[in-house]
A and B are shown apart, each in its own frame.
Chain A
Amino acid sequence: MEPLSWGLIIAQIFIQFIPVWIALFLTFALSISYKRRLGLYGKLFDSPIGMIGFAIVMFWVFTAVFADLIITHDPIGQISGMKNKVPGTPVPEGAAGYLHYLLGGDNLARDVFSRVVMGARRVLQIAPAATLFAFMVGITLGLPAGYFGGRLDTILSFLANLVLAFPVILLFYLLVTREIVETGIPMYLAAVLFAFPIIFMLILWQSRYFTQPATRNWLVSITLVIGVWAYLGLAFNADPFGVWGMDPNLLNVFVSVVFVNSPTVFRIVRGLVLDIQTRDYVAAAQTRGEGPWYIMLWEILPNARGPLIVDFCLRIGYTTILLGTLGFFGLGVSPESPDWGSTINDGRKLLSVYLHPALPPALALMSLVLGLNLLADGLREESLKD
C-alpha cells in the first residue's frame, strides 16, 4: 500500500465527514428559509459572524452525534507497527478497519483521527450539561440574592467570592483525585448541586400556577418523578432501572466543573437582577400583589435572557477549556480517554519530533471554543438590535 499524499488525506477526511456536511446543509437550509419565524435564533442568520460561529459549533455537535460513522478505527485500539507514524501511513496487511491512519498514529499506535472525532463526543457530552447545571445553581441562588438583598445576599456573595478567590487549578488538584472519590465528597457535592434544577423547576411551576392547583399538581408531579429518578441515578448511582448513571470519576470531574462555574453565574444573575429590579414592570407586578418568586422567575428572568444566553455560549467554551486543562494535567480521566486535553498532554512529550498527535486535538479544541465565542458575539449583536 502506498502512503497517502496530503491532498488525498484531506479528500478522505472530507469524505469521512459526509454525514456532518449533510446535517449542516439541512440545518442551514431550513433555518435560513424560516429565519423570520424563529425569533432570536433566526436573527442569528443575519449576522455573518454569528453564522460562522454557529456553523463551527454545529460542525462539532454533528461530529459528536455521528462519531460512530465518521471514525475509521477504534479510538482506543492499537495496531502494532503504527506507533508515531506520519499522517497517511497505510496500516499493515490484515489489520482491521480502514486502510490508512488518516492523521497518523500516536505514541501508543492508536489512530489520531478517530481519537479526535471521539474526543468531540466526550467534550460535548460534559461541557454543555455542566454549564447548564452551573446556570441552574447560579440562577436559583442569584435571583433571591439580588432581589431580597440584605443578609442572604451578604452570605451568598461571600461564599461566591470565596470560591472565585481559589485558583482554579489548585481547586482541581484538590478535588479531582482518586483519593477524593474514596471519601465520597464528590457524591455529597453532587447531592447538593444536582438538587438545584429540581428546586428551580418546582418553584417555577408553583409560583406561576398556584392558583390553578390541577395544572400545578400535574406539572409538579411530572417534575418530581423525572427529577428524583435522575437525581438518584446521577448523584448516588442508585437508579433502580439503570437508565441514569455516571462513572464515579466522570461524576467527580462534572461536579468540580459545575462547582467552579456556578459562582460566576451567580454574580452575573445577581447583577442583572439588581439592574432589572428598578424597572417599571417589576413595580407594576409588585403593585398587583404578585409574590416575590413569581416576579423573580416570570418577570425578571425572561427579561434577563439576552445576556444570559450570550454568557451561556461563552461559558460552554470556557468549560471546554477547563475540561481540557483537567485532561492536560491528567486529572480525573482515564489514560485511554480520547478527550482533547489528555490527547494534547500525551502528544506534547514528543512534540519536538512528531507534531501530528498533538496538533489535531489542539486545533479542534481551539476551533470549538472560537466557534462558541463567535456565536456569542453574533447573539449579543443581534439581541442588542431590538
Chain B
Amino acid sequence: MGLFILRRLGVMLLTALCLTFIVFFLTNLYPNLEKLAKTQGNMRMSDEQVTSWLASRGYLQPTVVKYGQWLGVLPGFTFVNKDGVETGRCFKSGVPAEETPSFCGVIQGDWGESTVFKDGVAGIVGKRLGLTGKLMFWVMVLMVPAALTVGVLAGMREGSKMDRTLSTFSIASTATPEYVSGVIFIAIFASSAVGLKWFKGTATSAMDDITFANFTLPVLTIALYGMGYIARMTRASMTEVMTAQYIRTARLKGVTFKNIVLKHALRNALIAPFTVIMLQFPWLLNGVVIVETLFNYKGFGWTLVQAAGNNDIELLLGCSVVAVAVVLVTQLISDIGYVYLNPRIRIS
C-alpha cells in the first residue's frame, strides 16, 4: 500500500509538471505576450515598443528557461536598464539589490505577481479559494445526501413507479447544464418579470455575508447538475446489491423490507457512489466557474476566468496548479478509499 501511494504520488508530480508546462507554453505564445504587453502598457504600442517592453521583463527568453525560473530551479531573470538600475523577477520594492535572492519560484514559495490584480498570486488564490470553499461546502451538504437518497429510493425496487419517476428526474438533471438551470432559476425566482423574487439573482453580497436569499440559487444550480449522475450511479449499485444472494436470504428469514434496505443493502450499495462522488470534484470545478460567472460571486472560478481572459500568466499558472492538484488528489483519495471500503480489492 505504501509503495502504491508513493508511485501514485510520483505520477501525480509528473502530471502536474507536464500540465503546468502546457499552460506555461500556451500562455507564453508570442501573440498572447503581445496582447499582454498592449493591455499592461499601451494599446497603441508599436512593434518595437512591444518587443522592448517584453524584453525588459524577461518574456522573450526561451520558454523552458522561463518555466525553470517560475519553478525556481533556475536563477530569476535580471535586467539592467539604461540608467544602470537592475530590475528583475525576484526584485521587490523596498528590498535592496544585494539582499534580493537569485532564485524565486514556486519551490521557494514565491508564486509571482498577478498583472491584473497587482497583488501576490498566493494571496489572491488563497482568498478566492476560501470563498469557493464555502460554496463547495454547501453544495456538498445539499448534493450528496439528496443524490444518495434519490438513488437508494430508486434502486430499492427496480422498475417500480417510484424508480421510473426518480430515474427520469436524474436524467433530466444531468441534461441541464449549469448555465441553463441557472438562467431558469434566476428567471423564475429572482426576476421582476415573474415576480416571485424569493432569492437574489447575484451572489456578490454572499462573499461577506451568506444568507438564505443570496446563496440558495448558486448552490442549487451546481448541486442539481452533479446530483443526477451520482443518483444514477447509486441506483445502479443499489439494484445490483438488491439482487444479491444475501438479500434473498435475509428476505427468506423474514427480515422486514425496511431493515433489509437499511441494515443489509445500504452499506454495500454505497461503495461505488463514493468513488463517483470523489471523481465529481473536478466536474464541480467546471460548474463553479460557470456559476460564479453567472452569479458574479468572486471566488476561484471567477478569478480563473479573469486570469485567462487577460492572459495573466502567473495567476493562471497558480489557478491551474490548484485545479490540477484538486483533480489528482481526489483521484488518489478515491482509489485509496475504494480499497479501504471494499476489503475484497487488494492492490499488489
- A interface list, Cβ under 8 A from B: 49, 158, 161-162, 164-170, 173-175, 177, 179-180, 182-183, 185, 317, 321, 324-325, 328-329, 341, 344-345, 347-348, 351-355, 358-359, 362-363, 365-366, 369-370, 372-374, 377
Contact = CB atoms under 8 A, between A and B. Distances in A.
Given A317-B175, A351-B201, 9 more contacts: A165-B282, A179-B31, A179-B311, A324-B177, A348-B179, A352-B190, A355-B194, A366-B177, A369-B177
Contacts of A325: 177, 179, 286, 290
A351 B305 contact: no
B193 A355 contact: yes
Say whether chain B's binding surface is mostly helix, strand, loop, or mixed: helix
B29 A183 contact: yes
A13 to B, nearest CB: 19
A183 B19 CA distance: 20
B184 interface: yes
A348 B27 contact: no
Nearest to A177: B32
Among A175, A358, A363, chain B packs the most CB atoms within 10 A around the CB of A358
30 contacts: A162-B15, A164-B327, A165-B15, A165-B324, A166-B324, A167-B285, A167-B323, A167-B327, A169-B286, A169-B304, A169-B305, A170-B308, A173-B304, A175-B26, A177-B32, A179-B35, A180-B26, A182-B31, A324-B179, A328-B179, A344-B179, A351-B186, A351-B191, A352-B192, A353-B191, A354-B193, A362-B179, A363-B184, A369-B176, A370-B172
Contacts of B290: 169, 325, 328
A261 B305 CA distance: 22
A183 B191 CA distance: 43
B23 interface: yes
B183 interface: yes
Contact of A179 (B18, B29, B190, B194): B29
Given A366-B176, A370-B175, A352 B282 contact: no
A166 B187 contact: no
4 residue pairs, one from A and one from B, having the closest CB atoms: A173-B308, A179-B31, A370-B175, A369-B175
Contacts of B18: 162
A170 B323 contact: yes
Interface residues of B, number: 53
Nearest to A161: B15
A373 B175 contact: yes
Contacts of B171: 370, 373-374, 377
A365 B308 CA distance: 26
B294 interface: yes
Nearest to B289: A169
A94 B346 CA distance: 77
B4 interface: no
Nearest to B323: A167
B329 to A, nearest CB: 11
B180 A183 contact: no
Contact of A358 (B15, B175, B187, B328): B187
A359 B187 contact: yes
Contacts of A321: 177
B10 to A, nearest CB: 12
Interface in B304-343: 304-305, 308-309, 311, 316, 319-320, 323-324, 327-328
Contacts of B168: 49
